[in-house]
Amino acid sequence: MADYSLGYGGIGSGLDITGMVEKLVAAERAPADSRLNRIETGAKYKISALGTVSSAFSNLETALKALKASDAFDNRAVKVGTDATLGATVGKGTPSGIYNIEVLDLATANKWMANTAVAADQTFGAGKLTLTVAGEAIEIYIAEGARLVDVRSAINDAARSKGVQASVITSNAGQFLSIGSDKTGAANTVSLSFSEGGSDLQALVTSMEERVPAADARISIDGLEVTADNNKITDAVPGMVLDLKTKGTSVVTVSSDLTASRKLLQDFVTAYNAAITSINTATKYDAENDTPSALTGDAQMRSASGQLRGLLGNLLSDLSAQGLDAKTLGLQTKGYPSSDGTLVLDATKFDAAMTADPEKIRNAFTGDTGFAAKLQTAVGSYIGTEGAFTQRTNSLNAQIKDVTSQRTALEARMEAVGNRYKAQFVALDSMISQMNTTSSYLSQQLAALAAQT
């Protein structure tokens, strides 16, 4: 705001020149301020509404991408007859069916234990042991005077990286050396042999007994035997992971995951409805209060809504032609009196259709030529860097930027106007001051003449 103060009042006129200048400038700039404020407020109002609609369209595009995916309806559900025997998880594409599974053997890790106790203070002479892990020989050197805990440490230092752990178990009878692998499977055997040293060290090695053999897991799936080196079998049935728990039999049933498939379509319905509702909200007119919304009567909004509704109607007709009408699929637009262009999905009808012919539904909705792809193309034309809504928003932002430039120019222009008014009032004040001085002088002269007579 320009400063029009004089630093003194009007000497000749006694007028508040500063106040008068400020009021004149304010009156002159008011129409321009009002126009610029109206443009800026309107642009921001529309940008906000467009942002809401664009966000809804973006969410719709995300839902359509998921619906379009080739594996969109390939989710599977699994049911295990006997949880105590095994657990099972399945992924997309796991073949549906009933699998009779028998757990014949669990995979085990090799474990050895000495059968002769050793006193805690007993020492061993120097020597060398050989630990063989999965066919690989590892030399272990025992120092003179080593106790059993030192033998344990020597084994661990040499073989821990191979998945072998030695420990000392203390009982009432004394201490016992234990050696075990943390890897299951028949190939992961562990053995300890004496290479050189005293008889005491040799006796320790000789006393080692196998307590748990290294063994593979064995199962039978519908009569076919499968083996694995661990109890989590991942490659017997595509996408199925079996977690073996104990010997026994169980039945694993794999079927289409109706809940996941229904959610996929319901997510689309929810996103589509949100997109239509966002347009309806942005363009509605409040007749009771005679108040329009940000985009009431907007041609672009009418076009977007009309395109979506028209395309959806055509696509629903296409579905009907494929035997997936509203009665069969359960997907339809709301009818009177709530016909606002939104969709509803009948879960019961959809589940029945999905159970009866999942392949038909998959073919209708997925892929580059399916329902989702066609609708996604239309939605995508409005969003993204080149989308119609984005271009419109950019244009409105440019308007706001132009308003800022116009305000800067207006400020400079009004400052010049104010300075002009100020100069005019100062000149007027100076003239009045001179007139007052002349008037005072004349009054004095007339008074003097009157005194002489």
Range of the domain at 245: 76-106+217-256
14 pLDDT band, cuts 50/70/90, is: low
- Say whether both 307 and 294 belong to one domain: yes
- Say whether both 80 and 200 belong to one domain: no
Q: Among 178, 212, 246, where does a domain finish?
A: 212
- Say whether both 145 and 158 belong to one domain: yes
146-168, pLDDT tens digit by residue? Answer: 999 999 999 999 999 999 999 99
- Say whether both 203 and 278 belong to one domain: no
335 pLDDT band, cuts 50/70/90, is: low
* Distance from C-alpha of 3 to C-alpha of 5, rounded to nearest angstrom: 6
Q: Spell out the residues 6+ positions from residue 111 whose beta carbon is closer than 8 angstroms to its own.
A: 178, 179, 180, 181, 190, 210, 211, 212
- Say whether both 246 and 183 belong to one domain: no
- Say whether both 415 and 448 belong to one domain: yes
- Say whether both 28 and 127 belong to one domain: no
- Say whether both 31 and 80 belong to one domain: no
179 pLDDT band, cuts 50/70/90, is: very high
Tokens of 151: 């033998």
- Say whether both 351 and 316 belong to one domain: yes
Domain of residue 193, CATH code:
2.60.40.4390
- Say whether both 289 and 410 belong to one domain: yes
400-431, pLDDT tens digit by residue? Answer: 999 888 888 888 888 888 888 877 877 777 78
254-309, pLDDT tens digit by residue? Answer: 998 999 999 999 999 999 999 999 999 999 988 888 888 888 998 999 999 999 99
- Say whether both 80 and 229 belong to one domain: yes
Q: Spell out the residues 6+ positions from residue 275 whose beta carbon is closer than 8 angstroms to its own.
A: 53, 56, 57, 59, 60, 308, 379
100 pLDDT more than 90: yes
Q: Among 203, 236, 256, where does a domain finish?
A: 256
Helices marked H in 299-387 — which ranges?
A: 299-321, 326-329, 347-356, 358-365, 371-380
Total domains, the chain = 3
* Distance from C-alpha of 271 to C-alpha of 254, rounded to nearest angstrom: 30
Q: Among 200, 227, 256, where does a domain finish?
A: 256
Beta partners for 252? 80, 99
- Say whether both 313 and 448 belong to one domain: yes
